[in-house]
Amino acid sequence: MKKMTLPKRNVELLHDAALNKSTAFTREEREQYGLRGLLPYIVSDQQSQITRIMGNLRRKEYDIERYIFLSSLQERNERLFYQAAIEHIDEITPLIYTPTVGQACREFSHIFRHSRGFYITPEDRGSISRILDNWPQNDIRIIVITDGQRILGLGDLGANGMGIPIGKLALYTTCAGIHPHQCLPVMLDVGTNNKELLEDPLYIGYPHERMVGEAYDALLDEFIQTVQVKYPDALIQFEDFQTANAFRLLDKYQDKILCFNDDIQGTSAVALSGILNCSRLTDTTYKDLTMMFLGAGSAAIGIGELMVKAFMEKGLPEEEAVKRLWYVDGNGLVVSGRKDLADHKKRFAHNHEHLNFMDALEKIKPNVLIGATGTGGSFTQEVIERMASYHHRPVIFALSNPTDRAECTPEQAYNWSKGRAVYASGSPFKPVEYEGRWIKPGQGNNVYIFPGVGLGAITCKASRITNDIFLTAAKALANCVGVDDIAQGSVYPPFKNIRKISLEIATAVAEKLFESGLAGIERPQNLREFIAAQMYDPRY
């Protein structure tokens, strides 16, 4: 790697996570920066350090211990953390994000060690611009913000939800090469209605019930407007907001600033990508599919909206496209005669009799069943067997996170369908052996989408991100799935290739942004090389 002059010396250098190389400092560097006597004799290379890290990691008994260990590494040697994550991505990603991040958020106040990220409370109203000056970096390009009200499938975790922005941004760097110093995790800590947290003496958040209404909107808007001034090139990603707020805030800001909602738009793109590839495993093309969703929250409705666009691109009129999508919520089939429907569900409320889930399944006989319930085990043996009776290759997407919230496991889906199901989940599962053959379940996780979308948007200084961008990203991801992946039963590419996949998605996204007039720079001659050259390389 290229040598550089470091701005710090002695112990101060060893305590700077971005600059510290620990035992990898050379003899010359130890002399130059006053490190002699502060490090043991041996000069290690980064690979030796990674070997030591992985050995210590694997000795931990529980995943939450591994999460804490990796967080500590990130806090003391940033480049070693990211290089280890890149080289062991299949092993480390589930530890720094789903499924382990779910437990980490539940216990965040109890395992808190080192403050990372930016916290905003109601007491900061009118002061956000001033206190953002306390953040040490100025060139912020990616902001992930949550208010902690709907963390994964776990509900209101208040300030404990900070584990989500921290984890998402670690994936931006690991999977798409966004420089860590260009990332800002933000917790809009407006309180919590979780009584267990409010009664917990170790809870680190704003110890009041949630602020709502105009005061909530004003606080968030102050932050949004401050970002436009302080970090004009930053992309804001809304994450794990309660469904009604998620749609409302996206509608309010998506045509005004550079932003997207990952639960709505990222989930929709990764799900659509998998469904597009299902035609390679089934006898039904995309335009002929009928789909049913169990769950009608932000993720499920977002998927449906993007699927309508994809149907229309295949030649279906919009009205016909909408009719291909059916939703079941906690009160049964979403139909026009119901008086209890939230606004975001009404577009998909069809003129049909009101049925419970099982009766709706029997009546509609969908090709594709998508779970976004947050309730583990919702796809019972009877559900899967019915789907298998309707279609030779039923498509089962159990997308809820973390792992214990999946609507069914791949083993259940394959066993109950006699090995015929095309299955994908939101969290990682191991390959399943069924009657002497190995089937590799796909992981329909947003990490396939959002890092590439973010990379494409910030490298060409996009002004907006439209829904068409996510359709582009979905198709780019689908194109990354090879013949061998399909042969193993997976509709997603191997996760170990995620940096290459993110680059392909970023290039496709950037092409679409230039085509749409949304890019803020002159188009480079070789767009792919231009983007690749800006990706963070943690090697030293």
If DSSP codes are grouped into helix, strand and coil, which group holds residue 333? strand
Residues labelled catalytic: 97, 168
Instruction: Show the tokens assigned to 423.
Output: 């299955």
CA 223: distance to chain centroid? 22
Contact 370, 491 (CB under 8 A): no
Nearest Cα to 451, choosing from 160, 172, 232? Answer: 172
Contact assessment for residue 479 and residue 420, using Cβ atoms and an 8 Å cutoff: no
Residue type, 273: S
Cβ contact 371:378 at 8 Å: yes
Q: b/e string for 185-204 if b means 16 or more Cβ within 10 A?
A: bbbbbbbbebeebbebeebb
Q: Which two tokens mark 140?
A: 């912020």
Backbone φ/ψ region at 295: left (φ over 0), alpha (ψ -120 to 50), beta? left
CA atoms within 13 A on the CB side of 202: 9
In whole angstroms, what is the distance from residue 190 CA to residue 149 CA?
10
| Parallel/antiparallel/unpaired status of strands 325-329 and 332-333 | antiparallel
Residue 297: partners with Cβ closer than 8 Å, 6 or more residues away: 243, 372, 374
Query: d(Cα 343, Cα 460) in Å, to the nearest integer?
Result: 35
The closest alpha carbon to 423, from 490, 329, 351, belongs to: 490
Count of beta carbons in the 10 Å neighbourhood of residue 40: 8
* Reduced DSSP (H G I as helix, E B as strand, rest coil) percent helix, strand, coil of the chain, to 5: 50, 10, 40
For 267, the token pair is: 């989930």
Rounded Cα distance between 31 and 8, Å, is 13
Q: Which residues lie across from 329 on neighbouring strands?
A: 332
Q: Tell me whether the omega of the peptide bond preceding residue 441 falls within 30 degrees of 0, making it cis.
A: no
CB 304 within 8 A of CB 477: no
Alpha-carbon distance 458 to 465, whole Å?
11
Distance between CA 534 and CA 531 in Å, rounded? Answer: 5
Helix axes 467-478, 298-313, angle to 10 degrees: 80
- In terms of phi and psi (left: phi > 0; alpha: psi -120 to 50; beta: otherwise), the region of 531 is alpha
**Alpha-carbon dihedral sign for residues 190, 131, 172, 270:** positive
The tokens of 122 are what?
Answer: 């109601």
